Structure 1
């Protein structure tokens, strides 16, 4: 080797995987956005308590602003869990998971129900949120999803009057397609679900038909 060759110390960590780097970026963005959104929400509450603003607080314009801020905060909480960083020792309670599912209901068209006991690792919650986003993509007209935990792992069982099927997109979850097209920004959760599940040694299984589907891990 000549003197210009760059040598890597074997004891130094290698580059981060793309999904891990994306998770860190998402955590940073969500962290920086939580505070200003919270400040706007607090400001709206103070306006509602102000006697000088009593009439305005009941106006449809003010209601629209309030609902929009709460929807943005709910969506941000979902993004933080689905796309953000999760360490191996972090856990969340079932009540926290239920609150996240309520956020998904509030900002989308899915009706959600959870059947589980005890807490769970944050990394499992991340997989659940990403899987929900995949089912949401397949059910743009709405539907219901049961999130349940059994002896073999988690199952997300969906029912709808009709679904939007895209086999090439869903092939990201099991690598069944020899050449998978790059997902668009609104479909990136498929690639991330596959990436995070693979890093944690989780085997994803899925099925999708005209009136529903299922994702399990």
Structure 2
């Protein structure tokens, strides 16, 4: 069992750059990675990612946290033209790594992209929708009930995005480790090509 944080992150292929960039830590009492939730440059909470959850729940918010989208600040930056949404922070870290660290020159398309992650498949909130105004959006999910449910929830608030369900029961991180990060990057490029226009926000909160 991969029970230490460094062995776990190495197994999942998370780069040292990503660990530093997102200030990943470890809570030995909770036996969980700690992932800061940052909104408008201010930490508003801490997300626990359990290394070996006894109840099958990989993510929980530390008490007192205000839930927020992982890497949400980068999505709203003017230089970001394409947002890649994943189910889970590990998948978002995988996308973040593959967008800039594959050893092949980045396309103009990929240079405009940023990754963000929900705190699990059920983590989508309607008030996230406004973050994607003016952005082209790609959604990547696992081939399971939770992944399809996440896709349905995002569809309630955003229209006009491209999506892919990972093959063979894999999640995004599995896909990158099995087939290579370069193939994941190419998949993202193809999906971004498919959505040539920014998403349309259909959330009721937008009209409020």
Q: So what's the TM-score if we normalise by structure 2?
A: 0.26
Q: So what's the TM-score if we normalise by structure 1?
A: 0.25
Determine which structure has the larger helix proportion and give its number: 1
Which of these two proteins has the greater Rg computed from alpha carbons? 1
